[in-house]
């Protein structure tokens, strides 16, 4: 028996960490494993793939052309992942950030889970990949205790705070027991906003482009009157976009000057 | 739809490929503003190096050349020799500028070749995962210096000061920082004007790398503050004054 799993997402999401944890856990459980990453030169924001093969017999070659299970975690990764789909592929996707209509129709089975929604509502946004790890290890039939041991070892350096460790374990166990949606997928409510936000008031006009905003927080840090704070709208990397308090704003232009992505500016209205 | 980005930026390739919070974006933005202000978007040729700087391959609506690692300066020197009416800007990081490409830059300064060199210094080799570079300060923790960079490997390379020592008297050598964008934009403008007057211009810009420093916006600026104490900003060679140019 051999299972070929492909994880497709975007740089910075934790695709390679998930694949590393799953492959180590499968190896600890006595299986034959191969894992090879594939990504571009950019560190963030471009498609990132992880080829994972788990089986009982020795594996000769780490790449494959057709995936048995294809996990898609980002809308922009679908076009890259499409060529690995066949009639026998089971697709697993994050139904809170991907519209199921955009997935290839030929796949044998499509399973969804609103992971981002759960991460935002029940845990912290960063626990997204831990929930996925839990769900996929269940899907692969790996033992919960073995996988958690690897998670704790891999993320041990980052999770020095015992409270965060506890929350991570809760997220992992929640993911392990999660059930897939098979037909009635939830609405993709965590899609990035694409239109420009224009706010007027107090003699000023603010323009914010969520399409460009990567949520780095430089404008919030550099605002001299603290008129900016993270809001509810989501930007291009599904990170929050700043909200502006025009009453406090003095239209100094610092946010425009420092924004690396040209996503924000505030103009003073011309006097009539 | 109100356009926020500079006119010389290519709109279809945005958001650009740099990480969230990267200093390259701020430098590129002000370079774009200067190109707009001087109305030279049809005359500029941008040469980019290997490293994070190459992610600007499709950022601008100007002619762009991708060169070999550290060879941006000599490529643009050669380009400028055959196309004298173009404005050649060599854009690179501290790895390409001060490690593998240093001899090219030193000789371009020594020969006083009329090009503009912009070096973005973020104290590490960011694209490959944040290894220590010549400009990393002592004590900086990186994948190649897990217990902090030792002073045996240098205490931080001050290249503009060194190049100012051998450059022509009319050259323009300066250092700016992304925390002071107004000064940075004026340095970029002066560096382009210096090239127009037929002299070598080189500016270093202190920048941040949130991905490899593992910092958020606030911590990035705190770290940049320490960096600004180590690397003094200002003009080391001021080029020709306006009186001399006339």
The CATH number covering residue A138 comes to 3.40.920.10
Q: How many residues does chain A have?
A: 272
Give the integer Cα–Cα distance in Å for B23 and B206. 8
Query: Which two three-digit tokens encode residue B23?
Result: 């200093």
Torsion, CA B3, CA B8, CA B14, CA B17, rounded to 10: -140
Q: Is the dihedral of CA B83, B52, A233, A16 positive or negative?
A: positive
pLDDT of A202 reads: 85
End residue of a domain, out of A147, A176, A205: A176
End residue of a domain, out of A176, A208, A224: A176
Query: Which two three-digit tokens encode residue A16?
Result: 């390679």
**A216 and A136, same structural domain?**
no
In a domain, A187, yes or no: no
For B11, B14, B103, the CA distances from B135, given in Å and listed in that order, are 34, 30, 16
Q: Is A76 helix (H, G, I), strand (E, B) or coil?
A: helix
What number is the ipTM of this complex?
0.87
The CATH number covering residue A248 comes to 3.30.70.20
Residue range of the domain that includes A123: 2-176
Q: B215 and chain A: CB distance < 8 Å anywhere?
A: no
**A164 and A95, same structural domain?**
yes
- Mean pLDDT of the A240-260 span: 89
Domain boundaries, chain B: 11-240
**A211 and A146, same structural domain?**
no
Residue indicated by tokens 């900086």 = B140
Q: How many domains does chain A contain in total?
A: 2
Give the integer Cα–Cα distance in Å for B89 and B115. 6
Q: Is B209 helix (H, G, I), strand (E, B) or coil?
A: coil
Per residue, what are the HEC states of B144-178? CECCCCCHHHCCCCCHHHHHHHHCCCCCEEEEEEC
**A140 and A70, same structural domain?**
yes
CATH number corresponding to B11-240: 3.40.50.970
Contact call for A196 and B181, based on CB within 8 A: no
**A228 and A160, same structural domain?**
no
In a domain, A140, yes or no: yes
Give the integer Cα–Cα distance in Å for B125 and B237. 28
Residues of B in contact with A216 (CB under 8 A): 20-22, 210, 217
pLDDT of B244 reads: 64
Residue numbers in chain B where pLDDT is lower than 70: 1-2, 241-246
What's this model's pTM, rounded to 2 decimal places?
0.83
For A90-100, write each residue's pLDDT tens digit.
888 888 888 88
Residues of B in contact with A41 (CB under 8 A): 54-55, 127
**A214 and A94, same structural domain?**
no
For A221, A243, A253, B98, B220, the CA distances from A227, given in Å and listed in that order, are 10, 8, 12, 40, 20
**A16 and A134, same structural domain?**
yes
**A131 and A206, same structural domain?**
no
**A155 and A32, same structural domain?**
yes
**A48 and A15, same structural domain?**
yes
Residues of B in contact with A220 (CB under 8 A): 217
Per residue, what are the HEC states of A181-211? ECCCCCCCCCCCCCCCEEEEECCEEEEECCC
For B41-60, write each residue's pLDDT tens digit.
899 999 999 988 888 888 89
In a domain, A118, yes or no: yes
Give the least confident one: A118-127, A201-210, B149-158: A118-127
**A55 and A172, same structural domain?**
yes
């Amino acid at each position: 028996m051999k299972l070929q799993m492909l994880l497709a997402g975007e740089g910075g999401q934790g695709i390679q960490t998930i694949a590393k944890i799953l492959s180590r856990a499968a190896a600890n459980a006595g299986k034959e494993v191969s894992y090879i990453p594939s990504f571009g030169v950019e560190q963030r924001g471009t498609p990132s793939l992880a080829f994972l093969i788990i089986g009982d017999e020795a594996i000769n070659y780490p790449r494959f052309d057709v995936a048995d299970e294809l996990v898609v975690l980002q809308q922009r990764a679908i076009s890259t992942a499409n060529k690995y789909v066949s009639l026998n592929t089971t697709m697993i996707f994050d139904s809170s950030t991907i519209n199921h209509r955009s997935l290839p129709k030929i796949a044998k089975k499509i399973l969804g889970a609103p992971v981002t929604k759960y991460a935002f509502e029940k845990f912290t946004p960063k626990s997204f990949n831990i929930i996925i790890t839990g769900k996929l290890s269940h899907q692969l039939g790996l033992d919960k205790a073995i996988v958690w041991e690897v998670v704790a070892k891999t993320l041990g350096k980052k999770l020095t705070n015992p409270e965060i460790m506890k929350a991570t374990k809760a997220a992992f166990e929640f993911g392990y027991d999660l059930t897939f949606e098979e037909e009635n997928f939830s609405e993709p409510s965590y899609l990035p906003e694409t239109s420009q936000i224009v706010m007027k008031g107090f003699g000023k006009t603010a323009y914010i482009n969520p399409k460009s905003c990567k949520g780095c927080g430089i404008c919030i840090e550099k605002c001299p009157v603290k008129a900016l704070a993270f809001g509810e709208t989501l930007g291009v990397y599904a990170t929050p976009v700043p909200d502006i308090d025009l009453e406090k704003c003095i239209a100094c232009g610092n946010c425009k000057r420092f924004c690396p992505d040209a996503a924000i500016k505030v103009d003073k209205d011309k006097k009539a | 739809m109100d356009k926020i980005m500079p006119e010389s930026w290519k709109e279809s390739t945005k958001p650009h490929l740099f990480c969230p919070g990267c200093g390259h974006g701020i430098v590129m933005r002000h370079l774009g503003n200067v190109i707009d202000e001087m109305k030279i978007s049809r005359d500029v040729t941008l040469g980019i190096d290997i490293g994070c700087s190459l992610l600007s391959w499709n950022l601008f609506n100007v002619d762009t050349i991708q060169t070999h690692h550290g060879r941006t300066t000599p490529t643009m020197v050669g380009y400028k020799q055959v196309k004298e009416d173009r404005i050649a800007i060599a854009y690179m990081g501290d790895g390409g500028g001060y490690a593998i490409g240093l001899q090219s830059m030193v000789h371009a300064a020594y020969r006083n070749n009329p090009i503009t060199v912009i070096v973005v210094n973020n104290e590490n080799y960011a694209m490959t995962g944040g290894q220590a570079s010549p400009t990393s300060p002592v004590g900086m923790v990186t994948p190649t210096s897990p217990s902090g960079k030792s002073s045996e490997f240098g205490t931080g390379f001050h290249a503009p000061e060194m190049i100012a020592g051998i450059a022509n008297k009319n050259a323009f050598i300066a250092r700016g920082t992304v925390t002071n964008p107004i000064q940075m934009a004026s340095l970029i403008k002066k560096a382009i004007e210096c090239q127009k007057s037929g002299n070598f211009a080189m500016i270093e810009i202190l920048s941040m790398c949130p991905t490899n420093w593992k910092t958020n916006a606030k911590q990035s600026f705190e770290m940049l503050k320490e960096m600004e104490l180590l690397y003094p900003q200002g003009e080391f060679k001021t080029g020709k004054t306006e009186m001399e140019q006339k």
